[in-house]
Chains A and B, each alone.
Chain A
Amino acid sequence: MSTIKTATTVPKGENQVIGALEANGGAPLELPVKPLLPELVVGLRRGLTDKVEVGGKLTTCPAGRRATTAGLEGEVKVQLRRVPGARLELALGPAAGFRWISAAGASMQVSYVSLPFLMGIDVGRHQIVVAPEAGLQLWTSAGANEVWAPMIGLSLGFVWRIGQRFALVPEAAAYRTDVRIDYSRGSQMFHLGLGFLY
């Protein structure tokens, strides 16, 4: 699902470098311990107009045979509301991506689309980002049938501006899907991240 969220598009013609150290995972609702997989993220966003930006991210978890991931994501952000002097900014940030996960010689692929509704509340130079999000994931693995996972969730982040261009973005998100694992009633997915913008 989309990460390193802000509710503010990059100004027209400008680039923004993004990166993060993230931990992502999922598990049946009933499992008390939720395993998380650390991942590194780098990417670039560019303002096409003052209200539209496009971007892309690469993700990886180079943990050898225990777990290795490689991911690619494309994203668009459309500014819905930004009024000078007002503290509330709104944007839509559709994204689509693919992630390849290899563990102990086996592999799984996750293809996804997501649509976060980004609500930014400016606090001085900083911004609290609350983003309800809907998405759809497709899980595939050789020897298994495909599994579709519609998801809804909510993320909470804080864009902590340090200097003119740099910002840290701590972020947490939780999602719910109806995917049952054996006898579970559904599954949850989690995201914790510490991103940066430059």
Chain B
Amino acid sequence: MLLLAVAGCSIDMPPADFAACGPVATPDGGVTAPDYWHDAKPIFDAKCATCHVDGGIAPMPLLTYADARDWAGLIYSAVDRKLMPPWPPNDCCQAYQHDRSLSAADRDTLLRWIDGGLPEGDPATATPSQPLPPPQLSRVDVTLQMPTPYTPVATEETSDLRCFVVEGWPYDEEVFVTGFDVRPGNAAIVHHVIVQTVDASAVPELKAREGADGRAGFDCRNLRGELHVNGGVGGWTPGSVPQESPDATLGVPFPAKSDVLLQIHYDVRAGVTMPDQTEIRFQVAPSVKHRMRALVAANPLWLANDGLEIEAGDPDAMHNFAYDPSVYFSKGAPFFLHAVNLHMHFLGSHGRIGIHRADGSWDCLLDIPAWDYHWSSWYQLAEPVQFNPGDLLYVECHWDNTIGNQAPVNGVVPAPRDLHWATAEEMCAALGLFTDTWP
């Protein structure tokens, strides 16, 4: 008995080389005098143009020579300090689709181009570029929006978790969501969006809850089974980009005779009370080759009282957890991970997700050495990773709960306080999207 107890008292942690880079080639200087058209433009197009377009989330476009020239000073600083393009994962952990990061060679080219006086070069020598997918779905089949704008209010927890029934799903039969794009109506206050499905027969009961407090939607902080959720479609956190599998290889089932339930957490700590009317765009297919589902890794004890305690003033509070999700999610069979997401809130400092293989080896899935809540995206793996029964999915979160890492509330930096698992405090979870079969 004692041995059993002791065996449960620690979690194996990844080795020091968990996400370490192998030998890295030092840029050899490349072309002697890079110019815009031949050398810099392909990098801007591939790594910057997703956001730096007219109407994009970035403050200015970087599509032309004039754009790049006018902002060269800022570009140099951001590239040199690796602040841009924003790409939090450790490059040496795993390969991802839509990787925005600059290679050492690309970074060297841009810096030398600016150092060299911003030569424009000859458009005839332009290197064909392959920009990232545009920040929108290639085809939109269904667009749903919150029925009316909602203006959140600050609760005593300075957060507002609100649910909205969004009717109008046009399909009665089961279909598969192959593309998914959440458009927050007010990105300044939308902390996360969870898109779930509810049985249509439960919609009248849910609609009856709406407006009970004189506002749109209903407070769903204390609701569980009362929500009648019968499936999850996807979620959005800051930094998320549209996801799609246009060839209908992958899709999330949307059950027959169901409607959409949005759960939105509004962060109103800054005192912003502007309205939000979030919109979701879907791409659907009648069938897909592989059904995609979601899994989560978090210690259930973290959700209970002080189970996840982050003490005030602690510069590196850490919690970790490992378990075998195949037991519950794939009936003990192997499965294939396609995307991962690490979820913490504002005080996170770093974290990682990995697989501790049954043979004792480790595979890194995601390593975020400098956590930025505003870029807590889903990361689509370049190649699906097979998870075998007996392996353990590992998640590790670190927080800095010192005064220097506090997020302002209504413009005032609060004193650190003990934090626990709560929507308005902190969380730690690894999320994954997986299929039972592949390829």
A and B are interacting partners: yes
Residues of chain A within 8 A of B8, CB atoms compared: 100, 102, 107-109, 141-142
Asked, given contacts A147-B304, A147-B305, whether A65 binds B1 with beta carbons under 8 Å apart, the answer is: no
Residues of chain B within 8 A of A31, CB atoms compared: 224-225
CB under 8 Å from chain A, chain B span 1-40? 1, 4-5, 7-11
Q: Hey, what's the 0/1 contact readout for A144-166 against B, CB within 8 Å counting as 1?
A: 11111100000000000000000
CB under 8 Å from chain B, chain A span 147-198? 147-149, 179-185, 187
- Bound-state CA distance A156–B7 (Å) is 36
State whether A139 touches B301 (Cβ < 8 A): yes
Residues of chain A within 8 A of B401, CB atoms compared: none
State whether B327 touches A66 (Cβ < 8 A): yes
State whether A105 touches B305 (Cβ < 8 A): no
Residues of chain A within 8 A of B223, CB atoms compared: 30
- Bound-state CA distance A107–B10 (Å) is 10
Q: Which of B5, B10, B306, B324 has the most CB of A within 10 A?
A: B5
CB under 8 Å from chain A, chain B span 317-366? 319-328, 332
- Bound-state CA distance A182–B322 (Å) is 20
B308 at the interface (CB under 8 A from A): yes
Residues of chain A within 8 A of B422, CB atoms compared: 182-183
User: How big is chain A's contact interface, by range?
Assistant: 35 or more
Q: Hey, what's the 0/1 contact readout for B141-164 against A, CB within 8 Å counting as 1?
A: 000000000000000000000000
B386 at the interface (CB under 8 A from A): no
Residues of chain B within 8 A of A105, CB atoms compared: 322-324, 327, 390, 392
A23 at the interface (CB under 8 A from B): no
A83 at the interface (CB under 8 A from B): no
Residues of chain B within 8 A of A185, CB atoms compared: 222
State whether B327 touches A33 (Cβ < 8 A): no
- Bound-state CA distance A183–B328 (Å) is 24
Residue of A nearest to B302 (CB): A144
Residues of chain A within 8 A of B301, CB atoms compared: 108, 139-141, 144, 147
**Smallest beta-carbon distance B166→chain A, Å:** 22
Residues of chain B within 8 A of A149, CB atoms compared: 305
State whether B222 touches A144 (Cβ < 8 A): no
State whether A70 touches B4 (Cβ < 8 A): yes
Q: Which of A139, A149, A183 has the most CB of B within 10 A?
A: A183
State whether B332 touches A65 (Cβ < 8 A): yes
A143 at the interface (CB under 8 A from B): yes
- Bound-state CA distance A51–B399 (Å) is 55
What are 23 of the A-B contact pairs (CB < 8 Å)?
A28-B224, A30-B224, A30-B226, A65-B332, A66-B327, A66-B328, A70-B1, A70-B4, A103-B323, A104-B325, A105-B322, A105-B327, A108-B8, A108-B301, A139-B301, A141-B301, A143-B319, A143-B320, A144-B307, A182-B303, A183-B221, A183-B422, A184-B222
Q: A30-B226, A72-B1, A143-B321 are in contact. List 7 more A-B contacts (CB 8 A).
A: A66-B328, A105-B390, A106-B321, A109-B8, A141-B299, A142-B9, A148-B305
A residues whose Cβ falls under 8 Å from a Cβ of B:
28, 30-33, 65-66, 70, 72, 98, 100, 102-109, 139-149, 179-185, 187
B residues whose Cβ falls under 8 Å from a Cβ of A:
1, 4-5, 7-11, 221-226, 299-309, 319-328, 332, 390, 392, 421-423
